Amino acid sequence: MNKGVYTCFDYKCSKPINHRESKYNVIEDIVGFAKSNIGIMVVWECKGCGQKYFFHLRENDPNNPYDYVEFYHKYKTTGKWLD
């Protein structure tokens, strides 16, 4: 089962995660959220090639240090990411 896709699978891609503070933090790359029959998905776009990827939004998960909904809402309302 896919627990999280945080990097681009395209071997030709030009280093898509170098701009991130952490390789697992896709907050800057989020393009939205999608409701599907398998749950709510975080959709993000690779800055290197434009390919879109997704993974399950795991709310209230103690193993997930990022609150994607809060960060994304903050960015959409203020144009800035939370510190």
Residue 1 pLDDT level (bands cut at 50, 70, 90): very low
**pLDDT digit string, tens, across residues 51-65:** 898 888 876 667 766
- Which residue range is the domain that position 30 belongs to? 1-83
Number of separate domains in the chain:
1
pLDDT on residue 83 = 53
Indicate the SS3 state at residue 44: strand
The position carrying tokens 């144009």 is: 79
Question: Which has the closest alpha carbon to 52: 26, 83, 23?
Answer: 26
Q: What is the pTM of this model?
A: 0.70
Question: Which has the closest alpha carbon to 7: 41, 42, 53?
Answer: 53
pLDDT on residue 4 = 64
